[in-house]
Amino acid sequence: MYNISFDKPIHVYFMGIGGISMSGLAEILLSRGFKISGSDMKASALTDHLAEKGASVAIGQCAENITDDIDLIVYTAAISNTNPEMIAAKGKNIPMLTRAELLGEIMNNYKIAIGVSGTHGKTTTTSMMTEILMSADFDPTVSVGGILPSIGGNLRIGNSDTFLTEACEYTNSFLSFFPTIEIILNIEEDHMDFFKDINDIRNSFTKFAELLPKDGLLVINGDIDNYEEITRNLECKVITVGSDSACDYTACNIRYDAKGCCSYTLVNKGKELGVVSLAVPGIHNVYNSLAAIAVGIHLGIDLAHILAGLSAFTGTDRRFQYKGECRGFTIVDDYAHHPAEIKATINASSNMEHNRLVVIFQPHTYTRTKAFLNDFAAELSKADEVVLADIYAAREINTIGISSLDLKHEIDKLGTKCCYFASFDEIENYILDTCSPGDLVITMGAGNIIEVGENLLKKA
C-alpha cells in the first residue's frame, strides 16, 4: 500500500477527477500543498472548480496524460484495464490506489477520523455530525454523500485534526479506512450484487469495527440483531444507542410537530440530559441523532453546542426534501431505494398533515429490485397510491428479466392502487390530472426520478 503523508506532498493524478467523490479528495490534497492533475471524459462545474484551485485537468483520457513526474495514480471502478491511461500507468510502474484506498490514506493523517457506516442513514448522520462539529468550532474536514447547504456542497475543507466521512460497505470500500471513531447505524441486506447474504454483510461490518485502535470508539445501534457478535472481541470503547432502554443513549417522550419533525428527551443510562429538537422528519432520525450525540459527548462537546448543531440541520438534498407546491399538493423528494428506507420515509410522511399519499417510485438496479421485490411491494403498498417508473439500471444490464411491471403485479395483489408509465412525461401528466389540493406526492428512488417533481413544479 502506498502511504500518503501531508508532510510530504507529491504529484497525484486522478483518473476520473470529475466525479463528486474523486474531485473532493483531489481538493483536500490541493489544500495540503499536493500537485494535482487528472482527466475526465467531459468538463463540468467540478473540473472547472478544481482548475480554479490549481489542478491541471485534461478533458479526454489518453496515454500522453500519464507523464513521468506523476508519483501516484488514483482511479475509480469505472476505469477499465483497457483504458489507455491505465495501460500507460502500468507500463511506467507508477504506484496506484483505488478511490477508497486514497480516502483511507487521507483519514490516516488526522488525529480524529470519524467514519459513519450503516446500510441507511449515513448521509444524514454525517451531516448531523458536521453541524455539531461546526457548532463547537472543531473546524472539521468533511466528505459527505449529499449536498449539505451549510457547507455549500458535499465537501468542507477544515484546518484542524478532525476528519469526518461516510464509510460505505459496498465492495468493502470501508475496509480500506483508518478510523479512530466509527458509527454503525444499522446492518441490513443490500448490494446483493456484491454480498452473498446478510452474514457476509455482517462479517464486513465486523471487520470494519476491528479496524479501530484500542483508544478508539465504536457507536453502534443496540437495535441491530445480535450486535454483541460485532463488538465482543473489540478492545476499544463501545457505546450503544437505540430504542431499547438498556442502550447507553436512548430517547423518551418522542413528539411530532406538524411537519413530522421530532423532539424528545435525551436519556443516558437512565438520566435525562435535556430535550432534543430536530428539524428533519421521521422517527429514524431520532436514532440517527442519538449516534451523532454520542460521538459529540465523547469528544467533550458541550450539550448546548450539540443541540444547536442538531437544530441547525434542516436536511440534505434528496433526503425528504421539500420541493414545493403544485396546484395545491405538496411535492417531496427522497433518495429511498431500499425497503427499509421506503418504510422510514412513509412513516415520516404519516406524521405530516396531508390528504392522500402518492409515491412515485423508480426502482434502482435490477438485482436490488429482484432481491427485494416482495419487500418493496409490502412497503410501497402503505401509500394510498403508487406510480412506478422504469427501473434505473445504474451500473447494471438486465440479464435477469425483471421489470417494474413485476413490482406492479405484487402491489396489485396487496390491494393498493398502482400505475406504471414508461416515461416521465406520462407520469407528470397523470399526477396533474389526478392529484388534488392537500395531497402529498413523494418522488422516490436513487436515480433521476427527482426530475419528475421538478418538472411538475415547472408545469404548475
Q: Can you list the alpha helix ranges (DSSP code H) found in 283-372? A: 284-298, 303-312, 339-350, 366-371
Catalytic residue (choose from 166, 169, 189, 341): 166
Radius of gyration of the chain (CA): 23
Torsion of CA 273, 275, 280, 284, to 10 degrees: 50
Asked whether 13 and 66 are in contact (CB, 8 A), the reply is yes
122 is catalytic: yes
Whole-Å CA distances, 232 to 68, 118, 210, 229, 268: 49, 19, 10, 6, 22
Whole-Å CA distances, 263 to 50, 106, 221, 258: 41, 36, 19, 12
Q: Can you list the alpha helix ranges (DSSP code H) found in 198-278? A: 198-209, 228-231
As a whole number of Å, the end-to-end CA separation of the chain is 55
Catalytic residue (choose from 123, 240, 250, 443): 123
What gap in Å lies between CA 210 and CA 230, rounded to an integer? Answer: 9
Asked whether 229 and 202 are in contact (CB, 8 A), the reply is yes
Catalytic residue (choose from 85, 122, 365, 369): 122
| Grid cell at residue 379 | 412497503
Number of neighbours of residue 191 by Cβ within 10 angstroms: 18
Q: Can you list the alpha helix ranges (DSSP code H) found in 121-197? A: 122-135
Which strands make up the sheet holding 153-156, listed edge to edge? 153-156, 141-148, 162-166, 112-117, 181-184, 217-221, 237-241, 249-256, 261-268, 271-281
166 is catalytic: yes
123 is catalytic: yes
Which residues are part of the catalytic machinery?
122-123, 166
